[in-house]
Amino acid sequence: MDIDVRGPRFGAAVTTVVLAVVLITGSVWLLAWQTFAFALGAAGGAARSPYGWVFRKAVRPRIGPPTELEAPEPPRFAQAVGLVFAAVGLVGYAVGPEWLGLAATGAALAAAFLNAVFGYCLGCEMYLLVRRVTVRAE
């Protein structure tokens, strides 16, 4: 079942704010929250993440039905990629080196920002690239 393209983009906007605050404050707890949010999105899809739930319950009823849908697999893969970067960032902030936390969090922030502002999902593009390569190899 396809999903509303605005949902993952809303999640990316919230993620952008959360990760920016992490970089400003160095909050391990806030990065742990974002890591958890990515884990839920990777396990259950973007619609099952906390930000997807907020979009479904609070935002979508106010903005009307979607005009565009997308397959759920690319955003789910993007959540898994975000999970990896957030987990690496969490390790960097929690046990060091701090530059690792900054770099991994900054990379995740850049990807979330691109999706939120321009609708360009790096994780989705990675998914599609891997899928094309896998199909050609078969």
pLDDT tens digits, residue range 78-131? Answer: 999 999 999 999 999 999 999 999 999 999 999 999 999 999 999 999 999 998
**Tokens 């009307």 appear where?**
64
Residues facing 4 on adjacent strands: 69
| CA dihedral for 46, 50, 56, 60, sign (positive or negative) | negative
Query: What's the pLDDT band for 135 if we cut at 50, 70, 90?
Result: confident
* Nearest-angstrom CA–CA distance, 118 and 79: 17
Q: What is the pLDDT of residue 37?
A: 98
Question: How many folded domains does the chain comprise?
Answer: 1
133, two tokens: 């390569």
Find the largest Cα–Cα distance for the chain: 47
**Radius of gyration of the CA atoms of the chain, in A:** 15
Q: What is the pLDDT of residue 1?
A: 87
* Nearest-angstrom CA–CA distance, 83 and 101: 13
Per-residue pLDDT tens for 4-24? 999 999 999 999 999 999 999
* Nearest-angstrom CA–CA distance, 44 and 74: 13
Residue 102: domain span: 3-137
CA atoms within 13 A of residue 36's CA, in its CB half-sphere: 7
Amino acid at 96: G
Beta carbons of 21 and 27 less than 8 angstroms apart: yes
6, two tokens: 């605005």
Per-residue pLDDT tens for 33-73? 999 999 999 999 988 899 999 999 999 999 999 999 999 99
**Percent of the chain whose predicted confidence (pLDDT) is above 90:** 91
pTM metric for this prediction? 0.92
